[in-house]
Every structure is written in structure tokens, then in C-alpha cells.
Structure 1
Amino acid sequence: MHTGLIHSIDFSADGRQAGHLSIPYSIDRSPYYQIKIPYLRVKNGEGPSILLMAGNHGDEYEGELQLGRLMRRLDPSTIKGTVTVLPAANLPAVMAARRCSPFDGGNLNRAFPGDPAGTPTARLAHFLEHELFPRHDVILDIHSGGTSMAHLPCTLIERQKESARFERAISLMRAMGASHAFIADNGPAAPTSMGAAARAGSIGLSGEFGGGGTVSPASMAFTAKAIDNLLIALGIVDTPLLGTLDATKAALQLLSLSRHGQGIYAPRRGWFEPAVELGAHVKAGDLAGWYHDLERLDLPEEALHFAEGGIVISHRLHCDSQAGDCLIQVAEPIDL
């Protein structure tokens, strides 16, 4: 009664099922409290299956809003196969507008494979990796830069040792229609949703769909197009559910982000001023920005330079920075 995760999903049933994943968690206000994470499962016969999730981090809104919209539009009669939607996976973080859960400090995307008797975040991660992910062919986990980062819009996969799965992941990533995509190399034990998807035998897809703790018409359109294109590529739907049919496909530039040297990190308390825009092509030694010290105005700003070349993929939005904060990153263009 006090541990685990409770649900009433009938995984074999056709039709539309809406409800909650419930995690018992005693708090001061309510000793028998349950964290209620909304889900929708729509199934129409045999066919491909996909789990769409957002709110892994609570301050990343493009996926949360578009998946909420998708839930209202999904109809079993217009799909083939199965679509499961978790628009606010780390619900406590979503409701608190925070990256991590205010209940246990849990970062869901660092909590896999989880623990069925652990904290709420650990219990959710365990359920996702061991119960929900294995029931789906494809997992799409939608991210953005959150409140602290601006991010080049892009899709993402983890490098896979199994060539057939890796090639299928690349094919689906191309179908989503982004102009940039990067391949992460966090290894088979990665504590992320993409690591969990691989261990569950599913194809994991993700991406950074915006940033800044807000949304824009461009970021929402990018997210809608990626979801629609993926559902169409899988054969689950024939026409877009969130946007309009767009036959154009941008040329995809693949990127690799796998080394700490591709980022510049704050050496101490300071104020960061970027010198380049997202998407800029830079070389090793190029100026990345300046680091100011408003507590020592007699000191000149410090010029920061890239250690590696590539395409600028993200930078810190908050000017005020602490030692260890990532200030800016470049990704390496690659070909497969």
C-alpha cells in the first residue's frame, strides 16, 4: 500500500483508456497521498506501438502542451496499432515548474533503471523501463532546454551496438523532419530514458524542441511536425493530427556530442555573455563569449574560447552563473 506504482491499464484491450499512474507517497499534508500521473492509451488492433512522453523534466513545455493536445485528438478509429501518451511524466516537477521533483529531488532522466521500492522518481523510472517501455516498439521522449538553456532545435538518438536497431532509429529520426540531429554515446548503462529504451528492446527517440522555460510558435510547430511525421512514418496514422501535411524534408545534419571538451564550463561565480548564436559554425580557438565579474569591476571580462570546433548547439540563458554551470556547447558534424 505504501510502495510501488498502481495502474489499471489493460494492455490487450482495444479502444481508448484514460487514467492515472498512481504512486503512493506520504506527505505532511496527506499521509495516504498518491501522485497521479495522467496517461492515455489508444489501441486499434494489431500494428506498431509508440509511447509518447514529455515532462521528464518539468520546465520543458513544448512536449507537454502538444501531447496534451494530441490526447484530445486521438481517436481509435483513425489509428492503426497503439499510442500511449504521458504528457507530464514527472508530474511533481511539472506542477512545480522545476527540472526535478520537489518531493525527492529526483531527475527522472538520471533515475533509470529505477527501484520499485525507492523514492517516487525511482519507482516511476522502474515502471517505465520494466513495464511500459518493453510493450512499445518506439519511445519518443520530448525535451527542450528548460529554464536555463537555449538549444538548437534537434532530434536525438543513442548510439546502438545492434546495427539493425540503430539503422531503424536513424531512419525514424530522419523521418521526423528536423534539420539537425545528434547521436549521443552514453553507453548501455546510461541512466536516461534513451538508455532505458535500449535495455527494454525498444527504439528510443528524443530531442531538444525548444528552451527557455517557454514556448514559441516556431518551437510548437517544430514539435507538432516531428510528432506527426513520426506517427505517419510508423504507419499509425495517414494524416497529421497536430499540424498540416508538409511534404518538404530539410536536409539533415547529423551531429555528435560525446566529449566534455565540447563544452565550456563556468570556473567560478560570474556572468556569461555569449559571442555566437545557436547554429553557428565555429573552429577550435574561436571566441565563445566573455565571463564578467560584477563583484570585481576593476577586472576586465575574461574571453572564453572553444576547445573544439563544430556547430553551436546550446548555451546558458541565465547570465548569472555558478562554478560548474555549462555555458556553451558545440557538436561535431558527422556522416554515417
Structure 2
Amino acid sequence: MHSGIINPIDLAREGRQSAHLAIPYSIDRSPYYQIRIPIVRLKNGDGPSLLLMAGNHGDEYEGELQLARLIRILEVSKIQGAVTILPMANLPAVMAAKRCSPFDGGNLNRAFPGDPAGPPTARLAHFLESELFPAHDVILDLHSGGTSMAHLACTLIERQADRTRFQRSLDLMRAMGAAHAFIADNGAMAPTSMGAAARAGAIGLSGEFGGGGTVTPDSMAFTAAAIDRLLMTLGIVKETVLSRSVPDRPRSLQLLSLSRHSQGIYAEGRGWFEPAVTLGARVAKGEVAGWYHDLQRLDEVEEELHFAEGGIVISHRLHCDSQAGDCLIQVGEPIEG
């Protein structure tokens, strides 16, 4: 079934193409409205095909800004193979500075494999998984902690049943040069872009490149270097594009796993969270994770929160004001060997 998305890009055509994916979506002020998502395709001869994607969540900016920059400066004559760039995949969310689309509340990274007859986010997910992802060898989906979370800078892959593809994923993830990396184990039907990439027969790469709904010199440099390293490792370019020079890779890569509810601490009610540890800290089971204050009951002593498991602190909530169900802090389990 057709996804209802208009795609003017010819993936077989040589050279540079700049266009918009168009999702028809009737709204009150415009019955024939289209959600127009920018897409750029560069192709120069035979070679690997890479899809670079950001804005899966609208409030994660490192990828959006660096891919916008890459669109402006990457030259067809300097590549071998093909690069497709989606700098603002969930465009309505990007324009609203929100995690999810304001049109349908859709979280694109929980919408795969999508629905060709569904609301806009579901239709986009279906188009990506069934049409765009299968046309690429490698997919890099750039994320960050978003407005509400601080996140340890890291790269990420999904565990693969195919050992050859999994090893290739590991090799490419290592090449991106992060000091920390995740191996997610969400299963074959994961509703994420990485699950979709695997089902489409592509190698899926991702990561958390910053957080807080902002960018920093460090987070932008980390993102630029990761993109450049991937482009060079694949043989698409011979030298850096976004970075003046690629910094030395960390001496080692610490692999992490996040697979159990007990690795996080969640709010049980309304409160104000004060973390006790910083991102990247190694903590032990039972160690103090932070304090939960109740500003509506000033006579109550703040609650001391303790880690149920040891590991490396990978994220914590940035918004002090919290509600029941909010994740306050998480630890990743180090994978040795």
C-alpha cells in the first residue's frame, strides 16, 4: 500500500538533488496542506550508500544543525557513493521545539514500522522503513537527551541476530570515536529507527550526542567528528568535511547495556529532583543517587534516593520539577570484554 508520501528524489540519479518529502495532511486553515520535509541526495558513482538523519525528536539539535551544515558544504565531486540527508525528519516537532509532533502527538522513534494509512508520523515511519531505509547500506540517526534530559555522550547500536552484520555494526560504531557506547537489546520488532534499519536489511547506528535542548562546543565537535569518521571509514570521503581535523579516538571504548527497569529511578509522585552524581560517574549499588524534595510540604525532610544497581551514570532529569512516572536518573551496566 502506498504510504501517501510524495517523494521527488530519484535514488538512482547521479549528482545533487534537493527537494521535500510531502505528506498530505488536511488541517483547519488549509484543506490541501502538505507537511514538507527537506531531503538532500548526493550520488557520485558506485560505492556505499549512507543515510544521515536527525530531528527524529524535534528538541535534539546537534544532529539537526550539523546535518544542515553538511548539506551546505558537502560537494558531490568529493564523495564516492551516495549520501542522503534528512536534517529534520520529524519536521513538525522540530518547528515546535518538541519531542513529538504537534499534529498527531506522534513520537517518530516509537512509530516504526508505521502505517501507510495512519496519521502523519505513522505514514512517515512506514515510508522510511519500507522505502528509504532499504535503499541504504548504513543509517545514522542522530539523537540527544532532548529538553528534559542530560545524557552521557555515546553511540548506540541494536543487537543483531546476524553475527556478520552485528560485527560490522560494532566496527562502525567503534570508528565513530565515542568513549562510551550502548548495545540495545529491544528485539526484532523494536519500534525505533534502529529496529527499522535492521528489518530493512541496513546497518543502523545511533547515539546520544548532547542534551538539555541546547548545544555546546563540545557536543557539536563530538557530533561533527562522529559524522566525519563514519564518512571516511565507509570510504565515501577521503578527508574531514565538518571538522578541521578529527581528534584522536579515545584509547578504549566502554560498552554499556541498559536492559532492566531497576537500572533507573522513577518518580513516585510530584516532587523536585536534586541529583547527587554527575554523568559518567561510576556508582555502586546502594549509593546515593540524589534527593527528592516536596516543596508542597516544607516540614518533610527530602527523600534520599539510592541506586538499585551499580554502573555508569548515563542520564538524569534536567527539569527539577517532576511528576510520577518521570525517569530521574539511570545507570548503564558496563560490558567487559
Whichever residue aligns with residue 246 of structure 2, its letter is: D
Residues 61-210 of structure 1 aligned to structure 2 (within 5 Å): 61-210=61-210
Paired residue for 1:318? 319
Residue pair 1:18, 1:39 contacting (<8 A) in 2 also: yes
| Distance in 2 separating the partners of 1:124 and 1:3 | 8
Paired residue for 1:255? 256
| Distance in 1 separating the partners of 2:39 and 2:241 | 18
- C-alpha displacement at 1:307, in angstroms? 0.4
Q: How many residues align?
A: 335
Q: Which 5+ residue runs of structure 2 have no aligned equivalent?
A: none
Quickly say closer, same or farther: Cα 1:55–1:279, change in 2 above 3 A: same
| Distance in 2 separating the partners of 1:282 and 1:161 | 31
Which shifted more, 96-105 or 253-262?
253-262
Partner secondary structure for residue 201 of structure 1: coil
- C-alpha displacement at 1:245, in angstroms? 2.5
- C-alpha displacement at 1:181, in angstroms? 0.5
Residue pair 2:3, 2:115 contacting (<8 A) in 1 also: no
Whichever residue aligns with residue 238 of structure 2, its letter is: D
Whichever residue aligns with residue 232 of structure 1, its letter is: M
- Report percent identity of matched pairs: 76
- C-alpha displacement at 1:244, in angstroms? 2.2
Residues 239-318 of structure 1 aligned to structure 2 (within 5 Å): 239-246=239-246, 248-250=248-250, 251-318=252-319
- C-alpha displacement at 1:123, in angstroms? 0.4
- C-alpha displacement at 1:246, in angstroms? 2.5
Residues 31-70 of structure 1 aligned to structure 2 (within 5 Å): 31-70=31-70
Partner secondary structure for residue 156 of structure 1: strand
Residue pair 1:3, 1:24 contacting (<8 A) in 2 also: no
Q: List, as ranges, runs of 4+ consecutive aligned residues in structure 1 with deviation greater than 2 Å.
A: 244-247
- C-alpha displacement at 1:249, in angstroms? 1.2
| Distance in 1 separating the partners of 2:125 and 2:149 | 24
| Distance in 1 separating the partners of 2:245 and 2:293 | 47
Partner secondary structure for residue 27 of structure 1: coil
Paired residue for 2:13? 13
| Distance in 2 separating the partners of 1:121 and 1:281 | 38
| Distance in 2 separating the partners of 1:270 and 1:319 | 8
- Normalised by the size of structure 2, how large is the TM-score? 0.98
Deviations 1:58-92 (A, max 9, x none): 00000000000000111111000000000000000
Whichever residue aligns with residue 105 of structure 1, its letter is: G
| Distance in 2 separating the partners of 1:161 and 1:178 | 24
| Distance in 2 separating the partners of 1:325 and 1:246 | 37
| Distance in 2 separating the partners of 1:69 and 1:249 | 23
Paired residue for 1:334? 335
Whichever residue aligns with residue 245 of structure 2, its letter is: L
- Normalised by the size of structure 1, how large is the TM-score? 0.99
Deviations 1:18-55 (A, max 9, x none): 00000000001100000000000000011001000000
